[in-house]
Amino acid sequence: MNIPEPEPFEFKAGQFVTMDLPVHEKRLNRWRSYSIANGPGEGNTLEFCIVHMNGGLATQYFFEEVKEGTVLRLKGPDGGFVLPEQLDKTLVLVCTGTGIAPFRSMIRDIHRRKLPFKGIHLIFGTRREDGILYREEFEAYRDLWPNFRYDIALSREPDWAGYKGYVHQVYLEHYPAPREDVVFYLCGWQNMIDEAVANLIVKTGFDKSQVRYELYG
């Protein structure tokens, strides 16, 4: 018996899917959305970056019950948090924790398709050094591309040689005044997004069309 190959799952870098997880009786309380962490065209595989949160029903299910062969129901892809059609501006990608997922997808897509780009500045924030996600991969891109900058801010690592504190200090240092050749992409918790939007649009004066964001959690 010949089993047909599954249809390719097509998506744009930066999009997400929504899973129906068996963690609650009510349907609306079972939906969980996750950004796809790998790039399009990398085979018929989807990768996700999921944090193990104490007390989280969804993460408990993923880490304690899901195994190879478990069937997961999902819908999508959805979302307009994707690469611009023209990469003629520097992309400033600001994220915390698992908010790195859509940016990893975007960067891998640029690399796989060999897309020319003006510049990428990836700014990642977390608490400690052991929480730096995909570090070796992004360091490899930094070594590969002279127009790729990679900065990390750690809030609870006093001996860290890089930025100590939060991501806001990094983009405010590098982009202290409005300029037309950049576009900001923000991905993280609500508080981080709110502060970054206020800093960039209200405090610094960038046009709101230059600031795009995606919430998670």
Output the tens digit of pLDDT for each of the chain's 217 residues: 565 667 789 999 999 999 999 998 887 789 999 999 999 999 889 999 998 877 788 888 999 999 999 999 999 999 999 999 999 999 999 999 999 999 999 999 999 999 999 999 999 999 999 999 999 999 999 999 999 999 999 999 999 999 999 999 999 999 999 999 999 999 999 999 999 999 999 999 999 999 999 987 5
> CATH number of the domain at 90-215, out of 3.40.50.80, 3.20.20.70, 3.30.470.160, 3.40.50.2020?
3.40.50.80
Provide the token pair at 114: 């060999």
How many C-beta atoms lie closer than 10 Å to residue 138's C-beta? Answer: 21
Report the distance separating Cα 78 and Cα 108, nearest Å: 19
Q: pTM (2 decimals)?
A: 0.94
Give residues with Cβ within 8 angstroms of 4, minimum separation 6: none
Q: Do residues 109 and 43 make contact, with C-beta atoms less than 8 angstroms apart?
A: no
Domain edges within the chain = 16-78, 90-215
Report the distance separating Cα 15 and Cα 83, nearest Å: 10
Helix, strand, or coil here: 174?
helix
146 upstream amide cis, omega within 30 of 0 = no
